[in-house]
Amino acid sequence: MAVVVDALDAGYYAATCPDAEAIVQDAMSRLHYTDPTLAPAIIRMLFHDCFVRGCDASVMIVPTPLHTTSERTAVPNHTLRGFTAVDAVKRALEDACPGAVSCADALVLMARDAVALLGGARYGVALGRRDGTVSDPSEVDLPAPFAKLADVLDYFAARGFSAEETVVLFGAHTVGGAHCSSFRYRLTGPDDGTMDEALRRDMLDACGAADLPLDTDPATFFDPDTPFVVDNDFYKQLMSNRTLLQVDQEAATNPCTAPHVAYYAATPDAFVRRFSEAMAKLSNVGVLEGDAGEVRKVCSRYN
Ligand code: HEM
């Protein structure tokens, strides 16, 4: 599955839905001001969509009595959020131009606007993706937070992303947050020895040491100082062992990635620019074009 751009076109909806980008941008701005946690969730949804079967909205399908499973039932997608917002944006698009704009394109545009709303650089995207007609949980092979970085680099390389681009995309973990379940083994179990002791204590408090039972699953921000800003704080945290996810932390020491981590920790502007370039590239992974697939009417179900 590689990055494909052949049939995509920035003016794809010029005749069929000329206001598509403005409709999405307007809806995303409104949603963002009522819930700033949405934008990070949409950025994550794009990653989970595009790395499984390409950017084809396969992640949005809800199981039915006929198809009792979908990508949404796979473990890495249990904590995905933002589906209601996707439905709202799609409804606005359908109201203006019925049957024109695919859910895959809607998500790409929402993620682009999410990055800008979080203070990142605005980037252009080509459009014309079609929606997939398969959503199979057994195909969801997204890496776990405790995956070995070497395997993750291979996994990203198979989708066309260099080690540098992988490090840049990890930088998405400067916005939003994680539930304790994805890192609490680092707090209590045999320690991998890399978490800053002060952070470990804070996270024990937040996740359930003192008065919270360990079986609750609170969520905490990756970057508590600026959780809704696309900035290079993530890399500074990596350099001081203050990252929640083990696979992220390994990027600070792995020889293939450590120089990139150090570079982006030192050059905020370069990160902001490269992050948007990497998001634009992510938006083009394995897309369906031409007559493939369909344009769904409702994003959560096939036509
Ligand atoms: C090895 C690769 C990755 C792993 C293992 C990973 C894992 C995770 C985990 C466990 C969470 C917390 C989910 C929760 O508990 O609610 C998370 C959140 C998040 N991830 Fe990743 N991730 C990876 C790569 C990426 C990439 C490439 C992007 C986007 C470009 C991304 C964007 C996000 C965002 C924005 C959040 C916050 C979501 C929210 O606040 O709802 N991640 N990730």
Residue nearest to atom 20 of ligand 1 (CA): 44
Q: Any bridge partners for residue 219, and if so which? A: 179
Q: Are 76 and 29 in contact (CB under 8 A)?
A: no
The dotted CATH code for 20-142 is 1.10.520.10
| Closest of 159, 141, 171 to residue 248, by C-alpha | 171
φ and ψ at 3, to 5 degrees?
-80, 125
pLDDT confidence of residue 212: 67
Residue 247, ligand 1, Cβ within 6 A: yes
Residue 118, ligand 1, Cβ within 6 A: no
Q: What is the pLDDT of residues 52-103, one digit of tens each?
A: 999 999 999 999 998 899 999 999 999 999 999 999 999 999 999 999 999 9
Residue 297, ligand 1, Cβ within 6 A: no
Q: Does residue 289 register a pLDDT over 90?
A: yes
The amino acid sitting at 158 is A
Q: What is the pLDDT of residues 115-136, one digit of tens each?
A: 999 999 999 999 999 999 999 9
| Closest of 9, 176, 19 to residue 89, by C-alpha | 19
User: How distant, in Å, are the alpha carbons of 2, 144, 235, 237, 282 from that of 243?
Assistant: 30, 15, 9, 6, 23
Residue 159, ligand 1, Cβ within 6 A: no
In percent, how much of the chain has pLDDT > 90? 88
Distance (angstroms) between ligand 1 centre and the Cα of 147 equals 13
Q: Write down the domain spans for the chain.
A: 20-142, 149-278
Alpha carbon dihedral 63, 64, 68, 71, in 10-degree steps, equals -20
Q: Does residue 236 register a pLDDT over 70?
A: yes
Atom of ligand 1 nearest to the CA of 145: 5
Cα(219)–Cα(198) distance, integer angstroms? 18
Catalytic: 78? Answer: no
pLDDT confidence of residue 154: 98
Atom of ligand 1 nearest to the CA of 278: 30
Length of the chain: 303
Distance (angstroms) between ligand 1 centre and the Cα of 11 equals 31
| Catalytic residue chosen out of the listed positions 48, 67, 173, 260 | 48
User: How distant, in Å, are the alpha carbons of 77, 192, 251 from that of 167?
Assistant: 22, 21, 7
pLDDT confidence of residue 205: 87
Distance (angstroms) between ligand 1 centre and the Cα of 149 equals 15
The dotted CATH code for 149-278 is 1.10.420.10
Instruction: Please check whether the two domains, 20-142 and 149-278, share a CATH topology.
Output: no
Confidence band of 187 (pLDDT split at 50, 70, 90): confident
What does the pLDDT average to over 28-39? 97
pLDDT confidence of residue 190: 60
Q: Any bridge partners for residue 220, and if so which? A: 178
